[in-house]
Amino acid sequence: MKVLLITPPLLQPNTPYSATPLLTAWLRENGHDAVQADLSLELLLKLFSREGIAVLCQTLETCTEAEAFLAARQGYLETIEDVIAFLQDRNPAASQKIIQRGWLPEGPHLFHAYEQNEQFGWNFRGLDEADRARHLASLYLDDLAEAAKLSDPNFGFSRYAEKLGTSLPRFEKLREALETAPSLFSAWLDELTDLQMNKHKPDMVALTIPFPGCLLGALYIARRIKKTFPEINITLGGGYVNTELRELRDTGIFDYVNHITLDSGMLPLLQLANQEPLIRTFGCEGGVIRFYDHTAPPIAQNALPAPVYDGLELDHYFGLFEMLNPVTRLWSDGRWNKLMLAHGCCWRRCEFCDTSIDYISRYDPAETVTICDWIEAMMAQSHFKGFHFVDESLPPALLDGLCDEILRRKLDIEWWGNIRFESRFPHALIQKMAAAGCIAVTGGLETCHDRTLTLMRKGITVAGATQVLRNLADAGILTHAYLMYGFPTQTLEETFQALEIIRHLFDEDILHSAFWHCFALTAHSPIAQNPEKYSLTLIEPPAADFARNEIPFDAHFDYDPKTVGDALRSATYNYMHGIGFDYPVDHWLAANP
């Protein structure tokens, strides 16, 4: 069967998302003619072109908020091709023009960057010419993205209609969005979909939806295919589907797609392509939703092939360097081969996590020899030596053996990924990781307070995590921490004790980046099954026939989580830029009343 696998808009444009390269390789290995396309990248390249900007300006002619942008249209038209080619690493000489103030038109993001650097005397943090140009070019694209939002409020640089896709109990709002007059972006997406369908003439199309910000884009694509090729079987899968649509009862989505698969997509897609009994798959027959789950063991991680990249124009991806922080840059800049070493989480005990879902609960590591074979195969295809290991949590024992194999084969690679800041990462292992090419790690410090860390069964202590961070920094490995506020029973005093610790970690230069998230109660977490333990009262949400994940609740805090969250983010933003360490932590709350 000819299968077309599509990444829908919008995702970060610096490197291919991991789903279609792996699924393409898997289907080919099992005898099918699988091809892939990245319509997220293609849509952004459509916007960031002379033609795209000209069309965008036409749509904004009557928009009073766009007057400043329209006044600078000629500047954007004359510079956009050089900027994109530079960010694609195809025109390095353009850096000399980009860094000269006055060549790029200055929208609010670019103007603010110049003013901020002059105000604080940062001089762009000592960036060399190439990186300064990347930073300025990225802010220039941010200004273009702001103009694009005036044409279509759903547009976001790495997401589309994200708020619409989050915890959507009914399908009606999506149908309304799909059936309203086309926007500039939906019309472009129709064109891009037609090109791929006419090029490949597939028998089946599979769309991955990793995040809420890809849902509407995927359904625009599905709608177009249903209109132009109604006989084509269309299937949805991915992280959003696996989390939000497990209790699907609304038939509306089946006006646009034929099947929806849950959890790892290898077997469900193969069974669909083979036209054999379905596995972990929703369908709709006679107006009734059915869930098919023919018994079969999951595919072992070690049995998977190396991902493939043909069909994806790797030299067209472009990186963004918006924040002057070397760790946050990793997500949006650089060409990374994305690879998962182990399915699931090696810990899988955190009370706030979706531990009942397959992508967390079923832990299955590959062998280190297999992983290095994948690494070598991917480098031969992409010619990139950078790897982002996308595991839920990189297992220490597996990393130990993997580093030995990387060093034995003398593989010249750089890699980063998510770990747990736990005692199973001793000094010796961290030194070995650095020698084997590790440049950065991310990990959850969460509430950064021992009482609440114990309550959530995180399995780390503040002192232990601090030592791991210190060892990582000593080895030259950059660190990023995921932080959490508004956790049930967490007090204001505990929250600011946590911020004080974060202040010290940044001041000691053993933590290099961090971000605070507000606690969200999800349907598949242990906390949702035992809310009384956390002094939570669940609020009965509207009946959910479509998406269900986040659960509303009442908790008794001695502070306003939103106000405190703003203060925490403000403080940490300053720490990340090397300033504000001399202020007491309660200063930030006073500064964010």
Q: How far apart are CA 386 and CA 400, in angstroms?
A: 19
Give the separation between CA 422 and CA 401, rounded to whole angstroms. 18
Domains of the chain plus CATH, in order, are: 2-41+161-301 (3.40.50.280), 46-157 (no CATH), 335-591 (3.80.30)
Q: What is the DSSP secondary-structure string of 543-591?
A: P-SS---B--EE---SS-HHHHHHHHHHHHHHHHTT--TTS-THHHHHH
Contact 261, 281 (CB under 8 A): yes
Q: In what order do the strands lie in the sheet with 386-389?
A: 336-339, 386-389, 414-418, 438-446, 478-485, 513-518
Report the alpha-carbon distance of residue 284 to residue 97 in Å, rounded: 57
Find residue 155's DSSP bridge partners.
160
Q: Is the pLDDT of residue 43 over 90?
A: yes
β-pairing, 288-292 with 259-261? unpaired
Distance of alpha carbon 38 from alpha carbon 20, whole angstroms: 9
| Cβ neighbours of residue 75 closer than 8 Å, sequence gap 6 or more | 104, 105
Q: Nearest to residue 353, comparing CAs of 497, 222, 527?
A: 527
Structure tokens at 223: 């709608």
Three-state DSSP class for residue 231: coil
What average pLDDT does range 202-209 have in this prediction? Answer: 98
The whole-angstrom separation of Cα 42 and Cα 64 is 29
- Residue 120: band (very low, low, confident or very high) from pLDDT cuts 50, 70, 90: low
DSSP state of 533: G
Confidence of residue 124 (pLDDT cuts 50, 70, 90): low
- Inter-helix orientation angle 50-59/39-47, to 10°: 70
Rounded to whole angstroms, what are the CA distances from 132 to 86, 106, 138? 12, 15, 10
Containing 406, the helix (H) or strand (E) segment is helix 396-409
DSSP-derived secondary structure for 328-349: THHHHSS-EEEE-SEES-SS--
Percent of the chain with pLDDT over 70: 98
pTM: 0.95
Length of the chain: 593
Is the pLDDT confidence value at 543 over 70? yes
Number of neighbouring beta carbons within 10 Å of residue 545:
16
- pLDDT tens digits for range 337-346: 999 999 999 9
What would the pLDDT profile of 208-249 be if each residue is shown by its tens digit? 999 999 999 999 999 999 999 999 999 999 999 999 999 999
Q: How confident is the model at residue 56 (pLDDT cuts 50, 70, 90)?
A: very high
pLDDT of amino acid 168: 84
- Count of Cβ atoms closer than 10 Å to residue 521 Cβ: 20
Structure token pair of residue 115:
């003013």
What does the pLDDT average to over 382-389? 97
